[in-house]
Amino acid sequence: MAYDPNNIFAKILRGEIPCKKVYEDDFALALHDIQPRAPVHVLVIPKGPYGSLTDFAAAAPAELVAGFFRAVGTVAGQLGLEPQGYRILANCGSDAGQEVPHLHVHIFGGRPLGPMLAR
């Protein structure tokens, strides 16, 4: 799928739209979700034009793949989610309900999170 450079996360990465930043490095930006579904709900987005995990895994440089996933772990640690635990989730495509076509990992925490999937 062609990457849409006008998606909301691309605009946030370019600084065109403000966000509540949690963390940033050369590979990733982490921000509070605008509609949190848990006491902690943070999004981590890679710095590059990747619509989903499939595109990212196929095309991103190894340094970015490693840096992005390292950032997810770093952010979870900085949010104080250990030792209670947390959940990460990446919606990819329409069956998963992906709304924003730029790869992002949700980090949820701050309370028991219940079953993995709604039935």
Which parts of this chain interact with ligand 5GP (CB under 6 A)?
A: 8, 19, 31-35, 91, 97-100
The span from the CA of 36 to the CA of 54, in Å, is 25
Q: How far is the CB of 35 from ligand 5GP (least distance, A)?
A: 4
- Among the listed residues 41, 102, 104, 106, the single catalytic one is 104
CB of 83 to ligand 5GP, least distance (A): 26
41 counts as catalytic:
no
C-alpha pair distances (Å), 109 with each of 6, 12, 37, 57: 30, 23, 9, 26
Nearer to ligand 5GP, 100 or 113 (CB): 100
Nearest approach, Cβ of residue 11 and ligand 5GP (Å) = 8
| Tokens standing for residue 110 | 């701050």
Strand partners, 40: 109
Strands (E), 1-119: 21-24, 28-32, 40-46, 86-89, 105-109
Whichever of 31 and 60 has its CB closer to ligand 5GP, that residue is 31
